[in-house]
């Protein structure tokens, strides 16, 4: 143990986040932490890097993961298997590791933490969830010492930006195009808009909170692509806003109810005012009661800053001989069956504007045990559409809590509903949960 030891860092990847990190090193020259070697695909590529002296570029990752003088390997290449192999090799070589790679951590967290324990090294991944919001270290070091009851968050900036534009009555396709023009959405946005990115992030947070590793494919997931301006209008009228909500909570049976889906939340909810590309995390538990944090979920500065924090922290741990082990091995915690999870909800149907339409729909809902709270139907050019010469109006129905299995059984009966005038419903019904 040497309290004055200069800590040497090797970097894998120098793209958006890596460049931001290199520039943070340039601004903090007296930190006793030195960047030695950077592995990239193309060392000749121009990079917007401030001059910080004598590090080297290489295309050979073994110059980083196998470099005897390097203490901390920082993985910022992205991708799955190759990044995972590099991280594992670095650990086997006795290197501490920092990464912002949510894909690798969510898929291979337990393997990485076990290997780190075996080789007595630290792993930092603050940048992997919610970019600039401190959440991994607070969970590992403080919050998980308490009894965490729920984590609710807005963990995807792309969809939050799109939903913010939609709250201004812009349709989904136009809102997505604006997000792409501003660099908040990828050319292929499916990973974000289908909720898969948020699923990886809530899987990581819930695993740390509840001590049982949860893989992204265990997270129930719905995206935002079916939401229309009509939904946004009615949500507003009912006192709600629409958000892509990520939730993980302990049920009364001790199971973990974990999901990502668009939801109506009260306009007084803490998360309702989190707009644009921002992320937010709201944790409830005892004895701390509430933890709420909001900030940039991605981007060069915020993410590089979180990575830099992990490097500084691990440098301190190396100097004082501390190894932080991460235990997520609990096997007796089950994931809740979504069919059994009850919530309130919102149903939007386009009804043919002929006598008896609403009556027949209400009959189906009653058969399935729905206790209807609100039912709104409006006419006028803002709402109505004409299908095969027949006027159709959107009908909005909200209900008291019901298990999701009931909703899943009801929808096909609505789609197949037959009256003597044919099916009173045009198109597919659209359903969203309401969260308190």
Ligand X SMILES: NC(=O)c1ccc[n+]([C@@H]2O[C@H](COP(=O)([O-])OP(=O)(O)OC[C@H]3O[C@@H](n4cnc5c(N)ncnc54)[C@H](OP(=O)(O)O)[C@@H]3O)[C@@H](O)[C@H]2O)c1
Which residues are designated catalytic? 201
* Site for ligand X contains 45 (CB under 6 A): yes
* Site for ligand X contains 298 (CB under 6 A): yes
Token readout for 10 is: 């090797």
* Site for ligand X contains 216 (CB under 6 A): no
CB of 256 to ligand X, least distance (A): 24
Distances 23 to 33, 132, 168, 299 between C-alpha atoms, Å: 13, 16, 38, 14
Name residues whose C-beta falls within 8 Å of residue 381's C-beta, 6 or more positions apart in sequence.
none
Give the one residue of 299, 345, 394, 424 binding ligand X; rule: CB under 6 A: 299
For residues 152-211, which are near ligand X according to CB under 6 A? none
* Site for ligand X contains 49 (CB under 6 A): no
Parallel, antiparallel, or unpaired: how do β-strands 385-387 and 425-435 relate? Answer: unpaired
Give the Cβ contact number of residue 94 at 10 Å. 12
- Name the phi and psi angles at 58, rounded to 5: -145, 160
* Site for ligand X contains 127 (CB under 6 A): yes
* Site for ligand X contains 394 (CB under 6 A): no
Give the one residue of 10, 13, 345, 429 binding ligand X; rule: CB under 6 A: 13
Token readout for 182 is: 């501003």
Q: Which stretch binds ligand X (CB under 6 A): 13-21, 25-33, 172-180, 323-331?
A: 13-21
Q: Which stretch binds ligand X (CB under 6 A): 35-43, 140-148, 264-272, 348-356?
A: 35-43
* Site for ligand X contains 285 (CB under 6 A): no
Q: Where on the phi/psi map is residue 202: left (φ > 0), alpha (ψ -120 to 50), or beta?
A: alpha
The smaller minimum CB distance to ligand X, of residues 76 and 314, is found at 76
Name residues whose C-beta falls within 8 Å of residue 82's C-beta, 6 or more positions apart in sequence.
none
The smaller minimum CB distance to ligand X, of residues 70 and 76, is found at 76
Give the one residue of 15, 32, 134, 403 binding ligand X; rule: CB under 6 A: 15
* 277 cis-preceded (ω within 30 degrees of 0): no
- Give CA–CA dist 112/242, Å, rounded: 37
Helix (H) or strand (E) holding 166: helix 157-166
Give the one residue of 17, 22, 74, 139 binding ligand X; rule: CB under 6 A: 17
Q: Rounded to the nearest 5 degrees, what angle is found at the Cα of 242, between the Cα atoms of 299 and 208?
A: 55
How many chain residues bind ligand X (CB under 6 A)?
25
- Which residues of this protein are in contact with ligand X, per CB under 6 A? 12-18, 39-42, 45, 61, 76-78, 82, 100-102, 127, 131, 298-299, 303
């Amino acid at each position: 143990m040497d309290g004055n030891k200069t800590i040497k860092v090797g970097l894998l990847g120098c793209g958006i986040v890596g460049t931001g990190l290199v520039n943070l090193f340039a601004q903090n020259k007296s930190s006793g932490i030195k960047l030695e070697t950077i592995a990239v695909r193309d060392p000749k590529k121009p990079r917007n890097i401030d001059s910080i002296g004598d590090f080297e570029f290489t295309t050979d990752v073994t110059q980083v993961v196998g470099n005897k003088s390097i203490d901390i390997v920082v993985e910022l290449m992205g991708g799955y298997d190759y990044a995972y192999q590099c991280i594992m090799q670095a650990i086997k070589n006795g290197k501490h590791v920092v990464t912002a790679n949510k894909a690798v951590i969510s898929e291979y967290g337990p393997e990485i933490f076990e290997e780190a324990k075996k080789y007595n090294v630290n792993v930092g991944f603050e940048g992997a969830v919610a970019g600039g919001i401190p959440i991994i270290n607070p969970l590992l070091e403080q919050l998980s010492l308490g009894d965490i009851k729920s984590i609710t968050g807005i963990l995807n900036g792309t969809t939050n930006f799109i939903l913010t534009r939609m709250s201004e009555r812009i349709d989904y396709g136009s809102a997505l195009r604006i997000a792409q023009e501003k660099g908040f959405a990828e050319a292929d946005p499916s990973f974000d808009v289908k909720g898969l990115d948020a699923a990886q992030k809530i899987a990581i947070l819930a695993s740390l909170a509840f001590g049982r590793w949860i893989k992204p494919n265990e997270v129930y997931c719905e995206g935002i692509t079916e939401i229309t301006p009509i939904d946004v209008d009615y949500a507003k009228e009912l006192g709600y806003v629409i958000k892509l909500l990520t939730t993980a909570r302990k049920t009364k049976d001790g199971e973990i109810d974990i999901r990502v889906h668009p939801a109506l939340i009260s306009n007084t909810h803490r998360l309702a005012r989190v707009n644009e590309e921002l992320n937010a995390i709201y944790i409830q538990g005892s004895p701390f009661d509430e933890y709420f944090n909001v900030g940039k979920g991605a981007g060069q500065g915020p993410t590089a800053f979180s990575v830099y924090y992990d490097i500084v922290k691990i440098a301190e741990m190396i100097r004082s001989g501390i190894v932080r082990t991460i235990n997520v091995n609990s096997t007796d915690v089950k994931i809740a069956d979504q069919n059994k999870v009850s919530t309130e909800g919102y149903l939007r149907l386009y009804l043919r504007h002929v006598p008896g339409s609403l009556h027949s729909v209400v009959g189906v809902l009653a058969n399935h045990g729905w206790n209807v709270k609100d039912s709104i139907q409006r006419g006028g050019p803002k709402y109505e559409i004409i299908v095969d010469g027949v006027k159709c109006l959107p009908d909005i129905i909200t209900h008291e809590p019901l298990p999701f299995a009931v909703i899943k059984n009801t929808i096909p009966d609505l789609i197949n509903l037959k009256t003597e005038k044919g099916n009173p419903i045009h198109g597919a019904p659209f359903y969203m949960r309401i969260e308190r």
